[in-house]
Structure formats: C-alpha cells, structure tokens
Amino acid sequence: MISVQSNDLNFPLVEELMIPSEKVAHVQVGNPLDHALLVLLKTGYSAVPVLDATFKFQGVVSKTMILEETLGIEQFELDKLNDLTVIEVMKKDVPCLKKDHSMIDALYKLIDHPFICVTNDDGEFDGIITRRTILKQFSKHYHETLKRA
Ligand code: AMP
C-alpha cells in the first residue's frame, strides 16, 4: 500500500479536469419527460444535469427517475411522459463543486455520484467532473510517478 501525503503532490483543480458546459448534454426544468428520456437514450447517459432558462444548475434527472415516475400499479403509464415535466421528477439535493476546488474534493464527492456538476458563484452551470476523469488522472499519476518511486 502506497501512502501519499496530499501536500506532497500537486493535484489539479476541478477547472483543469472538468468537461466544459458546451460539451455536456443537459435538459431544462420545463422540458416534458419524453424529451428528457429521448436525450438520455440518444446520448447513452444514465443521468444528465438539469438547468433553468438562465443556465443556472437546478438538479439531475436520470432514466431511472423517469421510469419510476411512469410506473403505475400494474403497467407503465406512458401518458405521464407528456404530462409531467423534468422539474417534477428530478433530484434537487445534489452536491456541486466550484472550478477552484481540488481534484481531491471531487474524489470524495464522486464516491457516491457518477458525476458532479460545477457551478460559479451565481449558480450558473460551468460543466461536470466524472468518475472516469478522476480514475484516468490517478492511473496517469501512478504510471508517471508512483510506479517509479
Ligand atoms: P463516466 O465517468 O464517463 O462514465 O461518466 C459518468 C456519468 O456522467 C455518465 O453516466 C453521465 O451520466 C455523465 N456524463 C458524462 N459525460 C457527459 C456528457 N458529455 N454530457 C452529459 N452527461 C455526461
């Protein structure tokens, strides 16, 4: 087991590792669920960020949340896909990061979430940081530094 002192290492900032907002698929609070499901199916992501009309981050919506909402007692009630909007099913209480947080702050939050949204001080959406990015970073660091130590 390799012991690493965090202050010995120069961990990158969230800003350096995040996927910028223009490359992130998202839906808006007022979108009907069928639109959100289409975005999720077409992109292949299990969840995406939810923004409002002013580009502020509001929460996260997933395929599971949408399917659970449409599941009736004995069958799927597909009318609900048209009748309900994203704001009615999304998860609002999710952690966020700021661009100047360190990769280690992201690492702790990514234990429980596949991606974390990055926002500015006004709550506007800047991008996301994913588990894959952090794992790639640790793999790179291991091969470049720790393996040689
Ligand atoms: P990954 O660690 O790359 O598997 O990504 C984890 C999760 O982050 C995915 O399942 C998606 O929910 C989300 N995600 C990754 N990249 C994007 C993107 N470009 N746009 C929207 N969501 C994304």
Tens digits of residue pLDDT in 121-146: 999 999 999 999 999 998 988 888 76
Residue 62 three-state SS: strand
For a pLDDT cut of 70, what percent of the chain falls above it?
A: 91
Tell me the average pLDDT of the chain: 92
Query: According to the model, what pLDDT value does residue 12 have?
Result: 92
Across 114-127, average pLDDT: 98
State how many domains the chain has.
Answer: 1
Cα torsion for 35, 38, 39, 42, to the nearest 10°?
Answer: -160
pLDDT at 2 exceeding the cut of 80: no
Domain membership flag for residue 32: yes
Domain membership flag for residue 4: no
What is the C-alpha to C-alpha distance for residues 129 and 59, in angstroms, rounded to an integer? 15
Q: Which of 112, 130, 132, 138 to mutate to test the pocket of ligand 1 (most atoms within 8 A of CB)?
A: 130
Pocket of ligand 1 (CB under 6 A): 19, 23-25, 45-48, 114-115, 128, 130-132
- Find the CATH number of the domain harbouring 54: 3.10.580.10
Domain membership flag for residue 76: yes
What range defines the domain where residue 71 resides? 11-148
Tens digits of residue pLDDT in 58-108: 999 999 999 999 998 889 899 999 999 999 999 999 999 999 999 999 999
Domain membership flag for residue 5: no
Domain membership flag for residue 74: yes
